[in-house]
Amino acid sequence: MKKTVTTLADGRELIYYDAREDTVRDAVDPRPLTRVVSRSEIRYDELTGDPVTVASHRQDRTYLPPADACPLCPSRDGRESEIPEKGYEVAVFENRFPSLSGGVGRCEVVCFTDDHTDSFADLTEERAALVLDAWTDRTAALSVLPGVEQVYCFENRGAEIGVTLPHAHGQIYAFPYVTPRTAATRRRIDAHREATGRNLFDDVVAREKGDGERMVLETDHWIAFVPYAARWPYEVHLHPKRRVPDLLALDGGARTECPQVLLELLRRFDRIFGPDAPPTPYIAAWHQAPFTDGRREDFGLHLELFTVRRAPDKLKFLAGTESGMGAFMNDVRPEDAARRLREVASA
């Protein structure tokens, strides 16, 4: 892999990741950009203690532009975008309208391909491996920034999820705090260790493998299953068999297999509702241990992949119990979801 670091016209960092070491990236951003004034504010809910980010400058961010004005396509045919090169493999740049900014974290955009019509599931294994390399490299770089406590790599796909740019891309957030979901998981890890002397992630994976009913796939180095108490209609958790705290700690076998397994899961998601259904909207979220956690080896890196679609023509909207109280109600039995995801496996 070759990594090329440059800057955009307004000073934001842009990084190219290429499979070939002899690739040259030297295009200059010619746009007359001025830096967007952005300063996020972290406030804390007085009743729960949960952090809330206020980022009012994001009201003016780009929203569903036409294909010929896509800011994630390469700059070509007289059209200038966030990527000055005429073509690229994987590119990462600082978000122009970040949720976290002004010394309270950092937000980056990860472009998986320069093809406007492709999705992650359309990538080759080699390209997906390059994306994994980019996620890993950015996790390492962002984790050492002052004040950063947790690095979160994720992809939102589909207008139903709220995506504002249809070009295949993901994001990386460097949080200046431990996110509420991770904090809750940390408490469960500690309680489980105190009660049993064992690791929570190890026990969950062992139970799902032993039960088998919610299993989706298993390889030499990875295991995927629908969680026992899935919150979403179709939800899959993907774990490396050897527990590690983050992407940096994956061993060679798990790293080599990861692109193939991830592509298989995403392609199954697009087949859940049949060949005539539109592409399945989803969120793919890598959960990594906070870097400020003194017991981070107890945390288990895993991917949580889920969709808000519950039927070919129906979406799951958060009801009052879920939005108001965080009390989820699932219309799809997890065992049925797992069976369907096994049925649509690649031949």
List the chain pLDDT tens, one digit each, 347 residues. 999 999 999 999 999 999 999 999 999 999 999 887 778 899 999 999 999 999 887 776 776 788 899 999 999 988 999 999 999 999 999 999 999 987 789 999 999 999 999 999 999 999 999 999 999 999 999 999 999 999 999 999 999 999 999 999 999 999 999 999 999 999 999 999 999 999 999 999 999 999 999 999 999 999 999 999 999 999 999 999 999 999 999 999 999 999 999 999 999 999 999 999 999 999 999 999 999 888 999 999 999 999 999 999 999 999 999 999 999 999 999 999 999 999 999 97
Residues 238 and 212 in one domain: yes
3-state secondary structure at position 303? strand
Last residue of a domain, one of 142, 163, 178: 178
Query: Where among 136, 160, 178 does a domain terminate?
Result: 178
Same domain, 63 and 162: yes
**pTM (predicted TM-score):** 0.96
Q: Which residues are 92's β-sheet partners?
A: 15, 110
Same domain, 129 and 212: no
Say yes or no: 163 and 216 in one domain: no
Residues 123 and 208 occupy one common structural domain: no
Same domain, 160 and 271: no
Alpha helices in the chain (DSSP H): 125-143, 180-196, 200-211, 252-269, 320-325, 334-343
Pick the last residue of a domain from 178, 205, 237.
178
Q: Does one domain contain both 109 and 85?
A: yes
- Domain span at residue 86 reads 2-178
Q: Same domain, yes or no, for 198 and 125?
A: no
- In this structure, what CATH number is given to the domain that contains residue 235? 3.30.428.10
Q: Are residues 50 and 159 in the same domain?
A: yes
How far, in Å, CA of 236 to CA of 215, rounded? 9
Instruction: Count structural domains, the chain.
Output: 2
Same-domain check for residues 299 and 326: yes
Q: What are phi and psi of 74, to 5 degrees?
A: -65, 160
User: Nearest Cα to 232, choosing from 142, 132, 322?
Assistant: 322
Q: Based on the domain organization, do 107 and 204 belong to the same domain?
A: no
CA distances from 156 to 136, 170, 192, 212, 265 (A): 19, 6, 32, 29, 15
Q: Do 148 and 11 fall within a single domain?
A: yes
Under 8 Å CB-to-CB from 220, ≥6 apart: which residues?
241, 253, 257
Annotated catalytic residues are 169
